[in-house]
Amino acid sequence: MSTAASYVHGVSSKPLLGDTMGSLIDRIAAAHPERPALVARAQNVRMSYREFHADVERVAAGLLALGLQRGDRVGIWAPNRAEWVVLQFAAPKAGLILVNINPAYRVHELEYALNKVACRALVLPRRFKASHYLDILGELAPELATSVAGQLSAVRLPALREVILLDEEAAMGTRSWQQLAALGDAAALAQLHALEPELGFDDPVNIQFTSGTTGTPKGATLTHHNIINNGWFIGEAMRLTEQDRLCIPVPFYHCFGMVLGNLACVTHGACMVIPGEGFDPLATLETVTAERCTGLHGVPTMFIAELEHPRFAEFDLSSLRTGIMAGSPCPIEVMRRVVSEMHMAEVTIAYGMTETSPVSFQTVPDDPLERRVDSVGRIHPHLEVRLVDEQGRVVPRGMPGELCTRGYSVMLGYWDDPERTGEVIDGARWMHTGDLAVIDADGYCRIVGRLKDMIIRGGENVYPREIEEFLYTHPKVQDVQVFGVPDAKFGEQSCAWIHLREGCAASEAEIQDYCRHHLAYYKVPHYVRFVDAFPMTVTGKVQKYLMREAMIAELRSQR
């Protein structure tokens, strides 16, 4: 009897949308003019869809009035603010490409990003927390202090001309956001409306830099079609309507905030609620309560921080029903508490990557809780996925293989980098994700690790994810990360870094014995270390390569 192949495709009675970002906001604002569109609590901003649409139009026209041309790149280097969302729609409405720049970037990273895609304009706040953005830009472009707004000519940033400051007062060489919007007069609006019919939904509108854990960041280039449809089907899986109010504490510069948050809302006429410029568990809880939010997004560490907050019990979260947990695996205990204590009975899990706009798999509210934790759900509508072995052959169901995605969601490519694009998108337009996955008989997908993370110990394939999921069952373990370190005898050995629950103590031997009773000998962590925290990216992704480097240094020093 032949075994079914690990190939799935998403069927749906709902067609793909043929919108551009401009036509989408035109259509939604016409359908729901008085519904709330955007609330930014820290800025005291509240906009209906009518007001939001007018703001988007003014800023889009203002960008054209600066002399920016179709296809020019506009960078946004800012935390979560109302202006970020306005620009997310305004730039593509004007035929421009929005470039998301990580708010944590410093001089070297900023210089690389701006020059890699040749940004003509950059939008930034004066400062946020310890980041003095204008000062950092000034290090790169000291010419700004003596230039006229719109006429920057900097040796280290040759393409950059315009700097727009998110502040009441412009600084030397910059314009304020209000000055930009004021340029969107009747003549500029007429220019905008004349341009819009020329735009197509396959045009690039967004560049997002992938984290660059293995070299310089790559600029994933996404179209209107990519991100609008992904946002639409994400919202469909969450059952969003214009009655929903989604609290979005995850960063906008990343697909999680921008697509799973903002675009899932706008495609459904729902309200985007920004609890603060950066993640703060207390501000998030206060916002959900005060704004009667029906949805809440977050990575597992965010939900843990909210649940563990000393004032958690004070907040009425009964308005919540849905939201997305993504970014890293979710321990089942956390999921149970989110459902029971935060009232999020319909919380969904999503899986994807920047290069696929991002979501390929998602659970739905009807999925049992166990499936919403042990899997990332089933294939999204209008997408295909297959799992392949090292030779590119599709593996049988139940066997691990590399996850490859094809369909409307796959990026155009990495900006100005055909070689690296060719490494991940093959001749048949399959995007090779580098993730190892298993698809079961019912079509549910489990991510079992990264191809790069897989540990090969003496010829045995060890999947860190499997050991991590087992160690979560230990009553003293709050969080765990497993990775490989070089070994002279076996090639690699596994190492577990464990964050224990408050007030607990454990030994390396105790953890290893626990594993020996339940796991094959070669899966038992050879090294166990107890830590207070893991190195993380801004979006809450654990950086295993830094842990590996630290362990290699520690083991070397012991020789």
Instruction: Using the predicted structure, report yes or no on whether residue 211 has a pLDDT greater than 80.
Output: no
Instruction: Using the predicted structure, report yes or no on whether residue 1 has a pLDDT greater than 50.
Output: no
Distance CA 211, CA 545 (A): 12
Instruction: Using the predicted structure, report yes or no on whether residue 213 has a pLDDT greater than 50.
Output: no
Instruction: Using the predicted structure, report yes or no on whether residue 121 has a pLDDT greater than 70.
Output: yes
Instruction: Using the predicted structure, report yes or no on whether residue 2 has a pLDDT greater than 70.
Output: no
Domain boundary among the residues 219, 238, 258 is at 219
List Cα–Cα distances, 244 to 255, 281, 295, 319, 480, in angstroms: 20, 21, 7, 10, 35
Q: Would residue 182 count as lying in a domain?
A: yes
Residue 339, classified by CB atoms within 10 Å of its CB into exposed (0-12), middle (13-18) or buried (19+), is middle
Q: Would residue 11 count as lying in a domain?
A: no
Q: Tell me, what CATH number does 78's domain have?
A: 3.40.50.12780
List the domain range (segments joined by +) for residue 546.
455-558
Mean pLDDT over 34-55 rounds to 98
Q: Over the stretch 226-266, which tens digit does the pLDDT of each residue have?
A: 999 999 999 999 999 999 999 999 999 999 999 999 999 99
Which pLDDT does position 287 carry in this prediction? 98
Q: What is the pTM of this model?
A: 0.87
Cα dihedral value 101, 412, 238, 465, nearest 10: -80
Q: Would residue 404 count as lying in a domain?
A: no
Which pLDDT does position 362 carry in this prediction? 98
Q: Would residue 442 count as lying in a domain?
A: no
Q: Are 91 and 57 in contact (CB under 8 A)?
A: no
CA-closest candidate to residue 319, choices 302, 336, 352, 294: 294
Distance CA 16, CA 12 (A): 9
Q: Predicted confidence band at 214 (pLDDT cuts at 50, 70, 90)?
A: very low
User: In total, how many domains does the chain have?
Assistant: 2
Q: Which residue has the higher pLDDT, 421 or 130?
A: 421
Q: Are strands 527-530 and 491-500 parallel, antiparallel or unpaired?
A: parallel
Q: Predicted confidence band at 339 (pLDDT cuts at 50, 70, 90)?
A: very high
Q: Over the stretch 280-318, which tens digit does the pLDDT of each residue have?
A: 999 999 999 999 999 999 988 899 899 999 999 999 999
Instruction: Using the predicted structure, report yes or no on whether residue 366 has a pLDDT greater than 70.
Output: yes
Instruction: Using the predicted structure, report yes or no on whether residue 328 has a pLDDT greater than 90.
Output: no
Q: Are 122 and 163 in contact (CB under 8 A)?
A: yes
Domain boundary among the residues 183, 199, 219 is at 219
Please state, rounded to an integer, the average pLDDT across all residues of the chain.
94
SS (H, E, C) 146-210: HCCCCCCCCCCCCCCCEEEEECCCCCCCCEEHHHHHHCCCHHHHHHHHHHHHHCCCCCEEEEEEC
Which pLDDT does position 448 carry in this prediction? 81
Q: Would residue 389 count as lying in a domain?
A: no
Q: Would residue 286 count as lying in a domain?
A: no
Q: Tell me, what CATH number does 513's domain have?
A: 3.30.300.30
Q: Would residue 192 count as lying in a domain?
A: yes
Q: Would residue 347 count as lying in a domain?
A: no
Domain boundary among the residues 219, 254, 287 is at 219
Q: Predicted confidence band at 332 (pLDDT cuts at 50, 70, 90)?
A: confident
